[in-house]
């Protein structure tokens, strides 16, 4: 009779005191691999979609090519100049089109529905809907534990259109609700942080490790010896196990570095605490404060490995924010009207003061983005992330969805080019997302990504490192 092999949990861990847990390598006696290979750490992906277009002639540099801090900073008449401190880690992309290149009714809703789906919208007007799943959902299903849904965030008053960028699939009713109040995510992250000058809880075992520099191996020595003698393990398994634990001291250094970034340091905790009782949006620039809080929290969520994917819709499709920029002082118009260059929700004009106000708002919004990128960098995420910013239309007066600007921060684990401004060649954004999805999920043996609908399959070669 064949001896009964000892049973193992398919996701086996050795556990010491407190909450210390050490994942085992792949063993023949336990045939399930980790979702991530040991030499391929996670890639975190975050998508931002802003409202009402940009002033194209004063947004990007004139010429494509290398981005440098000094070169970008010198372009003071361009909104993107404020991102100069991150020039080496940025990828600017022009000439990316949406499948539906121009509005057939309310372009704002139609643009939002295409921004992350790369699929032409269904329906019309403010009730337009997606005809496909959004890229954030595709990535989350591949890389998040138990296919956890992405974080879905919103800044600004939810008015005429509200959230319309993250979709579970095609069809009306598939839009995913977004959290408006940053305190919602903050409350979920509070229990994950370890120490830090701004508070947070510290796991007692982690504290002992930090204090005594005692190896995790020492906590699990008895369990290790028991497992090594288990008859279910082959000689090759025992060798793998020993090699695995011989390398844990190096891993502990990496974990220690991660723990250092998973703290509440850098969070605007007083502002977050003030939102505990709720949030009521006004028509002033409060939206930018909320954007900054959301971005601080996403950086923390990634550093703590709470979720690997998220989205932020930056304003209602017809954004009613009244920005206090200099050129709006004499107008007093909401942003949507400024983007139309006339004090109207439907007509379009050519008011030069409104155009200058729009440029000033572009610059202000990228200053908020800069705040977020600083937070991502402070937590060491620049080599582990793909942070994408775009708009739901290219410009306000025409509502064109051709040549929509895209900004990417982070190299996605070395997959993407950085420090460059490239011309995508008027491709539709399905090729953009083919590239991003491949970068974010390549450890899952992704071979051919054919996302959304557009002018062709494949990736944008100019984006590749």
What angle do the packed helices 235-246 and 248-261 form, to 10 degrees?
50
Contact 349, 340 (CB under 8 A): yes
* 376 SS3 class: helix
| Secondary structure E strands in 80-181 | 90-97, 151-155
Contact 403, 395 (CB under 8 A): no
Predicted TM-score (pTM) of the model is 0.81
The residue written with tokens 């001896």 in the block is 3
Contact 130, 122 (CB under 8 A): yes
Average pLDDT over residues 290-310: 96
Band of the pLDDT at 309, cuts 50, 70, 90?
very high
Q: Which residue has the higher pLDDT, 3 or 144?
A: 144
Band of the pLDDT at 402, cuts 50, 70, 90?
very high
Token readout for 331 is 């107008």
**pLDDT value, residue 127:** 87
Maximum C-alpha span of the chain: 91
What angle do the packed helices 352-378 and 286-303 form, to 10 degrees?
20
Band of the pLDDT at 16, cuts 50, 70, 90?
very low
**pLDDT value, residue 249:** 52
pLDDT digits (tens, 9 = 90+) for 181-221: 999 999 999 876 654 433 333 344 444 444 444 555 666 66
**φ/ψ of residue 119, rounded to 5:** -135, 140
Q: How far apart are CA 408 and CA 416, in angstroms?
A: 9
Q: Given a cut of 60, is residue 27 above it in pLDDT?
A: no
For residue 312, give the H/E element and its range.
strand 309-314
Q: How far apart are CA 389 and CA 409, in angstroms?
A: 9
pLDDT digits (tens, 9 = 90+) for 33-68: 333 344 567 899 999 999 999 999 999 999 999 999
Provide the mean pLDDT of the chain. 84
CB-side neighbour CA atoms (13 Å) of 220: 21
Q: Given a cut of 60, is residue 114 above it in pLDDT?
A: yes
Average pLDDT over residues 261-271: 91
Q: Given a cut of 70, is residue 5 above it in pLDDT?
A: no
**φ/ψ of residue 387, rounded to 5:** -110, 115
pLDDT digits (tens, 9 = 90+) for 372-391: 999 999 999 999 999 999 99
Q: How far apart are CA 59 and CA 363, in angstroms?
A: 8
pLDDT digits (tens, 9 = 90+) for 445-457: 445 678 888 666 7
**pLDDT value, residue 25:** 54
Residues 6 or more apart from 21 whose CB is under 8 A from it? 13, 14, 15
- Please report the sign of the dihedral spanned by the C-alpha atoms of residue 319, residue 321, residue 327, residue 330: positive
pLDDT digits (tens, 9 = 90+) for 72-90: 999 999 999 999 999 999 9
Q: How far apart are CA 286 and CA 297, in angstroms?
A: 17
| Secondary structure E strands in 114-238 | 151-155
Instruction: Of 73, 74, 79, give the one whose Cα is nearest residue 50.
Output: 79
Helices (H), 229-330: 235-246, 248-261, 269-274, 286-303
CATH class, domain 44-187+281-463, is alpha beta
Q: How far apart are CA 76 and CA 362, in angstroms?
A: 13
Band of the pLDDT at 23, cuts 50, 70, 90?
low
CATH 3.40.720 domain position(s) in the chain: 44-187+281-463
Across 124-128, 310-314, 383-387, least confident range: 124-128
């Amino acid at each position: 009779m064949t001896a009964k092999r000892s049973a193992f949990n398919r996701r086996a861990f050795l556990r010491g005191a407190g909450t210390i847990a050490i994942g085992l390598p792949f063993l023949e006696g336990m045939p399930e691999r980790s979702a991530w290979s040991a030499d391929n750490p996670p890639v975190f992906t975050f998508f931002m979609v802003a409202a009402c277009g940009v002033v194209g002639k004063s947004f990007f540099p004139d010429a494509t090519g290398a981005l440098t801090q000094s070169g970008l900073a010198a372009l003071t008449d361009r909104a993107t100049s404020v991102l100069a401190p991150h020039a080496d880690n940025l990828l600017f992309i022009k000439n990316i089109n949406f499948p539906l290149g121009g509005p057939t009714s309310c372009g704002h809703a139609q643009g939002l529905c295409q921004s992350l789906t790369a699929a032409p919208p269904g329906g019309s007007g403010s009730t337009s809907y997606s005809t496909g799943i959004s890229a954030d959902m595709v990535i989350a299903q591949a890389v998040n534990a138990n296919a956890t849904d992405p974080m879905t965030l919103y800044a600004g008053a939810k008015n005429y259109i509200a959230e319309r960028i993250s979709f579970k699939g095609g069809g009306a009713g598939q839009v995913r609700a977004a959290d408006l109040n940053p305190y919602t995510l903050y409350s979920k992250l509070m229990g994950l942080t370890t120490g830090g000058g701004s508070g947070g809880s510290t796991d007692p075992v982690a504290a002992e490790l930090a204090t005594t520099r005692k190896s995790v191996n020492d906590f699990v020595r008895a369990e290790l010896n028991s497992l090594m003698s288990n008859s279910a393990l082959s000689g090759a398994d025992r060798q793998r196990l020993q090699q695995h634990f011989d390398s844990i001291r190096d891993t502990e250094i990496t974990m220690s570095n991660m723990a250092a970034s998973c703290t509440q340091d850098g969070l605007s905790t007083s502002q977050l605490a003030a939102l505990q009782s709720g949030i009521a949006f006004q028509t002033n620039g409060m939206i930018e404060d909320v954007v900054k809080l959301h971005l601080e929290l996403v950086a923390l969520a990634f550093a703590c490995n709470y979720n690997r994917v998220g989205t932020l819709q930056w304003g209602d499709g017809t954004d009613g924010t009244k920005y206090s920029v200099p050129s709006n002082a004499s107008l007093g118009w909401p942003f949507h009207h400024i983007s139309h260059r006339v004090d109207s929700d439907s007509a379009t004009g050519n008011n030069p003061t409104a155009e200058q106000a729009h440029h000033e708002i572009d610059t202000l919004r990228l200053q908020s983005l800069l705040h977020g990128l600083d937070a991502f960098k402070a937590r060491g995420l620049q080599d582990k992330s793909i942070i994408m910013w775009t708009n739901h239309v290219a410009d306000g007066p025409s509502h064109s969805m051709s040549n929509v600007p895209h900004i990417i921060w982070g190299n996605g684990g070395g997959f993407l080019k950085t420090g460059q401004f490239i011309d995508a060649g008027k491709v539709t954004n399905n090729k953009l997302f083919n590239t991003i999805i491949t970068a974010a999920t390549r450890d899952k043996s992704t071979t051919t990504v054919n996302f959304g609908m557009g002018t062709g399959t494949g990736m944008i070669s100019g984006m590749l490192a």
